[in-house]
């Protein structure tokens, strides 16, 4: 079934069925076919979902030549192994020769080649070793029946750019897409049948793809803008496989003589190159980017190649800078050697950027920005709030309630002595409004954030649970049980600005 499928519905998810053997079972052709389909189908499924369409090895020693009738063939000096989009293996033996065909199976002749022409592998099993049918000749097309199936392949020439369809959902589909291109790109050639090294870099080897998804280093590639018809063109989104978060991108104009002009390319006109501007458009949420090209003179619109380099920004800190009149102050809890790896939600990093990152994960921060006794919201010196509480090293014992100041108040709702470690439930209030409920234990850090003053996710209140004490005698729990708080700080919800004068005070 899978070897000779006509529709890709055969590759939708389906439960596997295998033979069950018993003494005296009559084995027919159907039983033996099922045996092959069972093992092939499972292997194809794992190939497709684990590796996808890719080159596994080989295809580095290739030559093209034309015969007397101008029909072109490829010589595979080192052979190779590839997987198509259906998970089927394409095996190319060493020192093998194959004719180059069109997608319709017609020989692709030398005058048809142009620079570049892309060559693909296409899985194409063929019947072999015909034998005379011993009985029931109607089961075959003729008197003879093929005795074997050769898992062969074809070489297909195309001018189509080797790009896979973008998976917009970001998830991996369990079912083979009916629109998926089964051909596997393996080399690009020029009109003189030489190998086009630059375009051949587009082929994907499995090992390379795995490194791109794991290694947080620098990756590179080329965007080829072909026959532009407008002055400003933007590529589709490019995924450098560095994961979501901030990345650093550099682009440069790649010339015919293998020079690369980076930055503003206007000065390149003196050297006979195009007068263009290059830029990028980054989407940090996905880690993808677009390349933008602007031709300053519409008469000079020509195909161009843009080389890009992408690398991770600092894995711990962002890249924003704090303005000179802002001083970063470390949260007091972060200076306590006993408090390790605590981060305030939406806090600032040492660089001044909001939310530190590590291995692509947002952790938070351990700083806030101050201008004298005011806090700059998210490091913005033009949006200020008064710092109403900054607890020193002296711990605060809270038995039932704590009036913090500036409208902030904490209340204890309950203690839980039957669980280990001991826990408590507390509520945060601002004036008469109940803002948030927390269930806490020793070592917890709680943060309350709000969108305020045009800034999103501003930390307004922070405190650290240094300890929870619950007496063993039940009658004393309501009187002597306590929560020990340290490093509490809070800012006013009345927002002021350097431009409009001092802050408004709480009424």
Structural domain ending residue among the three candidates 191, 214, 237? 214
Q: Are residues 300 and 231 both part of a single domain?
A: yes
Q: Are residues 465 and 381 both part of a single domain?
A: yes
The burial of 464, by beta-carbon neighbours within 10 Å (0-12 exposed, 13-18 middle, 19 or more buried), is given as buried
Task: Report if residue 338 sits inside a domain.
Answer: yes
**Maximum distance among all Cα pairs of the chain, rounded to whole angstroms:** 105
The domain that contains 359 carries what CATH number? Answer: 2.60.98.40
Q: Are residues 301 and 359 both part of a single domain?
A: no
Task: Report if residue 168 sits inside a domain.
Answer: no
Q: Are residues 98 and 199 both part of a single domain?
A: yes
Say if CB 71 and CB 107 are below 8 A apart.
yes
> How far from chain centre, in Å, is Cα 245?
9
Structural domain ending residue among the three candidates 32, 50, 68? 50
Q: Are residues 28 and 112 both part of a single domain?
A: no
What is the residue range of 479's domain? Answer: 327-496
Structural domain ending residue among the three candidates 250, 278, 312? 312
Task: Report if residue 358 sits inside a domain.
Answer: yes
Task: Report if residue 321 sits inside a domain.
Answer: no
Q: Are residues 280 and 249 both part of a single domain?
A: yes
Q: Are residues 122 and 189 both part of a single domain?
A: yes
The domain that contains 285 carries what CATH number? Answer: 2.60.40
Task: Report if residue 505 sits inside a domain.
Answer: no
**Number of domains into which the chain is organized:** 4
Task: Report if residue 169 sits inside a domain.
Answer: no
Can you tell me whether residue 462 is helix, strand or coil?
strand
Say if CB 210 and CB 58 are below 8 A apart.
no
Which stretch of DSSP H or E encloses residue 44?
helix 29-50
Say if CB 277 and CB 297 are below 8 A apart.
no
Say if CB 238 and CB 289 are below 8 A apart.
yes
Q: Are residues 372 and 465 both part of a single domain?
A: yes
Give the closest residue to 406 by CA, choosing from 385, 378, 426.
385
Task: Report if residue 317 sits inside a domain.
Answer: no
Tens of pLDDT along the chain (507 residues) come to 344 444 455 567 788 889 898 999 999 988 998 899 899 989 988 888 888 888 999 998 999 999 889 999 999 999 999 999 888 999 999 999 999 999 899 999 999 999 889 999 999 998 877 777 665 555 566 677 888 889 999 999 998 888 765 454 445 667 665 556 789 999 999 999 999 887 887 787 875 444 333 334 678 888 888 878 888 888 888 988 887 777 888 888 887 777 777 765 444 454 556 678 888 988 877 888 999 888 877 777 888 888 898 887 655 554 455 666 788 888 877 777 777 778 888 888 877 778 877 665 777 888 888 888 888 888 888 888 888 888 877 889 988 899 998 899 999 988 887 777 889 899 999 988 999 999 999 888 899 999 888 888 899 999 998 888 888 766 666 678 889 998 898 999 888 654 333 333 333
pTM score: 0.43
Q: Are residues 279 and 342 both part of a single domain?
A: no
Q: Are residues 334 and 275 both part of a single domain?
A: no
Say if CB 416 and CB 424 are below 8 A apart.
yes
Task: Report if residue 319 sits inside a domain.
Answer: no
Q: Are residues 209 and 220 both part of a single domain?
A: no
Q: Are residues 335 and 467 both part of a single domain?
A: yes
């Amino acid at each position: 079934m899978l070897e000779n499928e006509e529709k890709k519905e055969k590759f939708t998810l389906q439960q596997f069925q295998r033979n069950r053997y018993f003494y005296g079972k009559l084995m027919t052709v159907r039983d033996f076919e099922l045996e092959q389909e069972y093992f092939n189908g499972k292997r194809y499924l794992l190939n497709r979902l684990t590796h996808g369409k890719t080159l596994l090895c080989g295809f580095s020693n290739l030559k093209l030549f034309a015969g007397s009738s101008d029909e072109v063939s490829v010589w595979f000096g080192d052979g190779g192994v590839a997987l198509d989009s259906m998970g089927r293996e394409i095996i190319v033996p060493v020192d093998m020769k194959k004719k180059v065909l069109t997608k319709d199976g017609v020989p692709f002749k030398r005058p048809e080649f142009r620079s570049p022409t892309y060559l693909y592998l296409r899985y194409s099993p063929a019947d072999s070793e015909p034998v005379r049918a011993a009985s029931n000749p109607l089961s075959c097309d003729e008197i003879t029946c093929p005795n074997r199936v050769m898992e062969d392949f074809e070489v297909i020439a195309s001018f189509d750019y080797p790009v896979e369809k973008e998976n917009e959902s970001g998830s991996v589909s369990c079912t083979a897409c009916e629109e998926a291109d089964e051909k596997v790109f393996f080399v690009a050639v020029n009109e003189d049948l030489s190998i086009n090294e630059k375009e051949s870099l587009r082929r994907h080897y499995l090992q390379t793809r795995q490194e791109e998804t794991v290694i947080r280093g620098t990756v590179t590639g080329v965007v080829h803008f072909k026959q532009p018809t407008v002055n400003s063109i933007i590529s589709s989104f490019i995924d450098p496989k560095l994961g979501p978060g901030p990345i650093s991108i550099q682009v440069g104009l790649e010339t015919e003589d293998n020079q690369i002009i980076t930055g503003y390319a206007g000065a390149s006109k003196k050297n006979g190159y195009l007068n263009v501007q290059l830029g990028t458009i980054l989407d940090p949420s996905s880690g993808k980017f677009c390349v933008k090209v602007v031709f300053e003179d519409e008469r000079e619109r020509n195909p161009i190649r843009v080389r890009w380099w992408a690398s991770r920004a600092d894995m711990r800190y962002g890249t924003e800078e704090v303005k000179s009149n802002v001083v970063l102050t470390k949260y007091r809890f972060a200076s306590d050697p006993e408090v390790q790896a605590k981060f305030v939600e939406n806090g600032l990093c040492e660089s001044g950027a909001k939310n530190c990152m590590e291995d692509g994960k947002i952790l938070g921060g351990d700083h806030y920005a101050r201008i004298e006794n005011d806090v700059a919201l998210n490091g913005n010196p033009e949006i200020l709030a008064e710092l109403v509480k900054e607890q020193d090293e002296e711990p605060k014992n809270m038995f039932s309630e704590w009036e913090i100041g500036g409208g902030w108040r904490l209340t204890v709702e309950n203690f839980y002595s039957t669980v280990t470690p001991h826990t408590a439930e507390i509520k945060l209030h601002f004036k008469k409004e109940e803002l948030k409920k927390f269930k806490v234990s020793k070592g917890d850090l709680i943060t309350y954030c709000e969108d305020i003053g045009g800034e999103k996710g501003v930390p307004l209140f922070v405190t650290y649970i240094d300890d929870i004490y619950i007496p063993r005698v039940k009658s004393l729990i309501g009187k002597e049980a306590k929560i020990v708080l340290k490093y509490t700080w809070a800012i006013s919800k009345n927002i002021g600005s350097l431009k409009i004068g001092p802050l408004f005070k709480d009424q």
